[in-house]
């Protein structure tokens, strides 16, 4: 679907942005691939790997999702937008709440308006497990963002732009991930753990990219897509990285959950299960559940269902975590 099309990635110099740009360049032949971000240094560094000489389709746009006018310029003649820009660090959002709202909430509003005005065909936005029953500001802003993008389909009306959301858990080795943190602490012989009972969802960066591209291809507009991914226990991560290290419990940080949640119980009545993912359906009058989902092999989740990291049926074993860590270190030699 990307051959001959123009795609724009907001937050294009972040971990996800760089991976999806790499994947699109390897698999498709787009007309243009626009990297949109506000950091000129990161764009310069990225252009060393993906130059417009080697990849004539690539473009680098400086801009901020807080600036609606700049988004309108960037979205001109764009077919698909992948929205990955956000303020994501929980402590930073807690300490700078107005900034988090400007980027994650008002930025989403600007994205929606610009996409509709410029007649973008499809837009898919990245969310987070922290948006489900949020307990911190980051999660709350992403929940607001999710609601805005779902409602964007009603705002678009007959103008044909459609919006959907992808929500998934912690990305292996991403900034703020426990894996690089434990690798740094390994040499000290003591691993600080917030709570030994803690569990988390886990997804690789490539899996996240592949899921977004697949859902972008098949979205109708209004869905919140949730992939089925494994959980891990924090103590198993510690065993995989430093089996001989001592564990020191330091207590849960402000805004942190003991277990992660991706589909709350209250959303169960709107959720359809497929083999590899769930779809939280929108409450639209025009949304035909049978045509969109139930007629395509999905089944309605039972009342009281929730998708939680501690009750998940799929778990990463210590050897499986160790392989993920080894793969991460191969790509990041500074952690060897």
Q: How many CA atoms lie within 13 A of 323 on its CB side?
A: 5
Between β-strands 32-37 and 6-10, what pairing exists: parallel, antiparallel or unpaired? Answer: parallel
Question: Could you tell me the two tokens for 1?
Answer: 């679907």
The SS3 of residue 192 is: strand
Query: How many residues belong to the chain?
Result: 336
Q: Which residues are catalytic, by number?
A: 130
Q: How far apart are CA 69 and CA 269, in angstroms?
A: 39
Would you say 271 and 264 are in contact if contact means Cβ atoms under 8 Å apart? no
Please enumerate, as own/partner, the contacts of 95-100 that have beta carbons within 8 Å and a separation of 24 or more. Answer: 97/137, 100/137, 100/138, 100/141
Give the relative orientation of helices 15-27 and 205-218 as an angle to the nearest 10 degrees: 60
Q: 310: exposed, middle or buried (C-beta count within 10 Å: 0-12, 13-18, 19+)?
A: middle
DSSP characters over 238-281: HHHH-TTSEEEE--PPTT--SS-EEE-GGGGGGEEE-SSEEEE-
Closest CA to 135 of 264, 4, 293, 298: 264
Buried b (16+ CB within 10 A) or exposed e, 37-49: bbeeebbeebbee
């Amino acid at each position: 679907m990307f051959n001959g099309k123009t795609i724009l990635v907001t937050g294009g110099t972040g971990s996800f942005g760089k991976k999806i740009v790499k994947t699109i360049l390897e698999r498709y032949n787009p007309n243009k691939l626009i990297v949109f971000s506000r950091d000129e240094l990161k764009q310069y560094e990225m252009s060393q790997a993906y130059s417009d000489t080697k990849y004539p389709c690539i473009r680098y746009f400086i801009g901020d999702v807080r600036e609606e006018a700049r988004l309108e310029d960037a979205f001109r003649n764009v077919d698909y937008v992948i929205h990955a820009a956000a303020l994501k660090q929980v402590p930073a959002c807690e300490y700078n709440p107005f900034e988090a709202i400007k980027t994650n909430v008002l930025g989403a509003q600007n994205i929606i308006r610009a996409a509709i005005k410029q007649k973008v065909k499809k837009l898919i936005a990245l969310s987070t497990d922290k948006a489900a029953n949020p307990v911190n500001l980051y999660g709350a802003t992403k929940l607001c963002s999710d609601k805005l993008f779902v409602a964007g389909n009603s705002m678009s009306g007959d103008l044909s732009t459609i919006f959907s959301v992808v929500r998934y858990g912690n990305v292996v080795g991403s900034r703020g991930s426990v894996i690089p943190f434990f690798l740094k602490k390994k040499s000290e012989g003591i691993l600080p753990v917030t709570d030994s009972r803690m569990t988390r969802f886990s997804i690789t960066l490539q899996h996240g990219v592949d899921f977004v591209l697949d859902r972008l291809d098949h979205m109708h507009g209004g869905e919140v897509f949730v992939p089925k991914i494994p959980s891990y226990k924090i103590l198993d991560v510690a065993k995989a990285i430093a089996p001989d290290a001592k564990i020191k419990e330091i207590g849960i940080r402000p805004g942190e959950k003991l277990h992660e949640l991706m589909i709350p119980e209250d959303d169960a009545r709107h959720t359809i299960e497929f083999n590899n993912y769930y779809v939280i359906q929108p409450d639209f009058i025009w949304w035909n559940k049978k045509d969109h989902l139930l007629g395509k092999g999905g089944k309605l989740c039972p009342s009281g269902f929730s998708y939680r990291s501690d009750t998940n049926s799929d778990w990463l074993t210590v050897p499986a975590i160790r392989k993920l860590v080894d793969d991460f270190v191969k790509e990041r030699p500074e952690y060897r």
